[in-house]
Structures are given as structure tokens and as C-alpha cells.
Structure 1
Amino acid sequence: MTLAIVSTSDRPDLALTTGTWRWEAFYKDGGTELSEVLEGEAVAASSPDLLPTVLVLLEDDLPVGMVAICLDDLDGRPELNPWLAGLYVEPNHRGKGHALRLMSELETLARRSDIERLTLYTASAVSLYEKTGWRTIETFDDKGEEFHIMSKNLAD
């Protein structure tokens, strides 16, 4: 098994896959159209800037997971920029440490770009992030579900 992590700016052909994953995992039930998410994914893939960047984990050249660094992942909270967002691993590839690989690569990319802190929010993966030094700085309720805003200092 060969693992590699690439960005969609290096492999824009992966934007359809990452956009579909993003929509299915995070937007499908919220009324956002797939075409809107795919449009945003194409913009990220064509951007020469760090923000946004989508990283894709390839296993034997097949995409199995993704993560992004972006601005404004949570509406109305620009003071928390930049964000780790959209961490996703295909269900049949979970439990292999792929999420941790993607997080580590994204954190390395951010450090190399002199980013000292990242933020994320999650309702379901708090313990995953805590394993690697993320800490909850705030919680909020959205439609009866508790979300944790988490932060990680990268300067340590």
C-alpha cells in the first residue's frame, strides 16, 4: 500500500471527488445543492493561495480522505480564522490512522506558512482532535446539537 497526500491545486481532477464527499458529509441534509459545493471545490483547486487548500490522501493513487484549510468556516466568526475544515475519510478506509495523517499534514502546511493557530468546529469528533492536542475553547448549540469550537496552537 502506497500513501501520498496531494492538494487539489496539484490534482484538480480530484475536486469532483472532494466536493462530492464534502456535500454528502456536511451539506446534503442542510439544503445546499451539490453544484454549489462543487463550484467552491473548483475555486479552491484553481487558487494559487494557501487559503483555501484542500489536501487529499491517496492510497495506491485512489482518493480515500481529505481535509482543508480555509477562512470563515463558521459564519460570523472571522476572528477565529484560519480553520481546519472538512476532515473526511471514506467509511471503508476508517480506522487506519488516515484522519491523523491528514491532520498532521495540514498542521505542517500551516506551520510552514507561519500560521500559529488553527480553529475547527465539530459535534462528533471531539475525542479524535483531543488526541492530537486540540482543545475546546467554546461550545454552541445548533438545532439541538452541541458543537465544540476547538483550537490548536501550532507555535509550540
Structure 2
Amino acid sequence: MTPMIVSTAARPDLVPTTARWRWEAFFQDAMSLDEMLLMEAEATNSELMPTVLVLLEGEEPVGMVALCLDDLEGRPDLNPWLAGLYVADAHRGNGYGLRLIAELEGLARREGIDRLSLYTASAVDLYSKAGWSEVESFSKDEATYWIMQKAL
């Protein structure tokens, strides 16, 4: 069965899963899971941002990515953002991350967005493989992060 990609606007029942994934991967130290649920629920409206895309194998959610504003505090000049790319451990290595990136880029392009930004401490190689370029770095919490961009 070919995996398909849906938005949480079309499938709000997926919000508890995407909220848990994002919270576990990125936000445990910054907010509660309940706060993350509220934030993820914002993507169930008809607005472009935020949008959360979910990759499904059959009916099983296996990965996600988001399009949002203001992903990095103090850097509105870099809006909009690709954020929250996540693929469940058991499904990594299948190209799902690249598929989610490409789908989000296509959505942004169709909506007239000509450039996206992201930041990562650990996935520079993955994003480079998808055609993204490193534009600057910064340190936070004893880690180095790279800001990357892609012209669409």
C-alpha cells in the first residue's frame, strides 16, 4: 500500500498523535503535553499557517511535518518555516522524511511562497540531500543549530 499524506485540517483525529510526537521530540523541556495539544489543534483550521501534514501507511500515522510562522524566537525575517519533521523510529530509513519535506515544499510553492527556512541541530545532511542550504549557525543550550533555507 502506497503511503499517503493528509493534513490535520482534514484529519483532526491525528492531532493527539502529532502533538505527542512533537512534544517528545522537541518540546518536553519547554511546555506540557496539554499545551502542545492546544498548539497542534491550531493547525486544524482552514488557514495556511500553521499546517501539519501527516504521512499514513494505511491508517497508521508514521511521520509529520509542519509549515508555520515564527519557529525561531526573534527571527520573523526568516518566515515561513518548515518545522517539526518527525518520522516514527520503526519507519525511518524508508525515505519518508524526504517525502514529507517535498510535499510541504510543494504546498508552500502552490501557495505562492518562494522561500522556506528551518533550523536543525542534527539533520543537516538530510535537508542538504533535499536541496536545502546552510545560511548561518547559532548556539543554544550548549548545542549548535544550523539555519537552512530553500528557494522554491
TM-score above 0.5: yes
The match for 2:130 is 132
Give me the whole-angstrom Cα distance separating, in 2, the residues matched to 1:96 and 1:132. Answer: 15
Q: TM-score, normalized by length of structure 2?
A: 0.98
Give me the whole-angstrom Cα distance separating, in 1, the residues matched to 2:31 and 2:40. Answer: 14
CA displacement, residues 33-89 of structure 1 (integer Å, 9 cap, x when unaligned): 0010000111111x2111100000001121000000000000010010000000000
Q: TM-score, normalized by length of structure 1?
A: 0.96
Aligned residues: 152
Q: Pairwise mapping of residues 65-84 of structure 1 onto structure 2 (< 5 A)?
A: 65-84=63-82
After superposing on structure 2, the runs of 4+ consecutive aligned residues of structure 1 that deviate more than 2 Å are none
Which amino acid is the alignment partner of residue 92 of structure 1? A
Task: Give the superposition deviation at 1:32.
Answer: 1.1
- The answer as to 2:6 corresponding to 1:6 is yes
The match for 1:37 is 36
Unaligned runs of 5+ in 1: none
Give me the whole-angstrom Cα distance separating, in 1, the residues matched to 2:143 and 2:30. Answer: 17
Which amino acid is the alignment partner of residue 134 of structure 1? W
3-state SS in 2 of match to 1:44 = helix
3-state SS in 2 of match to 1:15 = helix
Task: Give the superposition deviation at 1:31.
Answer: 3.7
Which amino acid is the alignment partner of residue 142 of structure 1? K
3-state SS in 2 of match to 1:63 = strand
Give me the whole-angstrom Cα distance separating, in 1, the residues matched to 2:5 and 2:141. Answer: 35
The match for 2:103 is 105
Unaligned runs of 5+ in 2: none
- What is the percentage of aligned positions where both structures have the same residue? 61
- The answer as to 2:99 corresponding to 1:123 is no
RMSD (Å) for aligned C-alpha atoms: 0.7
The match for 2:18 is 18
3-state SS in 2 of match to 1:2 = coil
Matching residue within 57, 60, 66 for 2:58: 60
3-state SS in 2 of match to 1:76 = coil
